[in-house]
Amino acid sequence: MSYLTENLHQVREMIREAAIRAGRNPADVSLIAVSKTVPVDVLRETVEAGILTFGENRVQELTEKYPQLPPEINWHLIGHLQTNKVKYIVDKVALIHSLDRFPLAEEINRRGEQKGQIINTLVQVNVAGEDTKFGLPPGEVKGFVEEVSCLPFVRICGLMTIAPYVTNPEEVRPVFRELRIQANKFSEDKVRGFAGNLLSMGMSGDFTVAIEEGANLVRIGSKIFGARHY
Ligand SMILES: *Cc1c(COP(=O)(O)O)cnc(C)c1O
């Protein structure tokens, strides 16, 4: 087995075990292979190993790789998105994880309308209030979702967060829990414009804890591809 199939096997096994520990169906957790900095030939191998969902955090890298890989791949934009770059990706991505401000929502709406396509997004929430991270403070998310609900070409499918970097993932369990509670509450209260139950949380160092707390999209890079070389 190559390192890639070995890593993938291990990650899938950890996803399965974490879901079972939490009394969840492992099939309800989708794996996004975070492919930033990973060359296209390695991604082809990854596709052969059964992965069809890739996450990129830079628009330029995504648009370069996009035409080189099979069209059935689902590309997710997981990093900060500049308003003036929406036009390059709007017809290429299955999901934008980083919606965090109204002008960006307006631009996504405008480009979606031009393409005749409703664009799927997640609202990025800065649960831990870190200065270094993008995302809305939890207290502003509901109002933002309601505001975006007037934009017919933007669909909010759920919430996303990046937990603080810690050595013991147990420390960030409350972050994941808070995001899940917020999403559940929006669904129960039928918050206008909240159209789904996707919870994108968990990376290489903390995804098992995120799954135990309800993640259904995990974004895993280095645990699949090895350490990144920039
Ligand atoms: C890079 C990145 C990841 C994956 O990080 P790993 O620790 O390598 O798994 C997940 N989410 C976002 C937003 C990222 O930028």
The ligand 1 atom nearest the CA atom of 223: 9
What pLDDT was estimated at residue 15? 98
pTM above 0.95, yes or no: yes
Show the low-confidence residues of the chain (pLDDT under 70). 1
Identify the helix (H) or strand (E) that includes residue 28. Answer: none
Residues 190 and 211: their CA atoms lie apart, in Å, by 24
Residue among 8, 34, 200, 229 to mutate when testing ligand 1 (max atoms within 8 A of CB): 34
Spacing of C-alpha 147 from chain mean position: 22
What pLDDT was estimated at residue 229? 75
Residues 107 and 32: their CA atoms lie apart, in Å, by 25
Amino acid 220 reads I
pLDDT in tens, 63-112: 999 999 999 999 999 999 999 999 999 999 999 999 999 999 999 999 99
Does ligand 1 come within 6 angstroms of the Cβ of 11? no
Does ligand 1 come within 6 angstroms of the Cβ of 215? no
What pLDDT was estimated at residue 132? 87
Residues 6+ apart with CB under 8 A from 28: 19, 216
What pLDDT was estimated at residue 1? 64
pLDDT in tens, 75-88: 999 999 999 999 99
How would DSSP label each residue in 38-72? --HHHHHHHHHTT--EEEES-HHHHHHHGGGS-TT
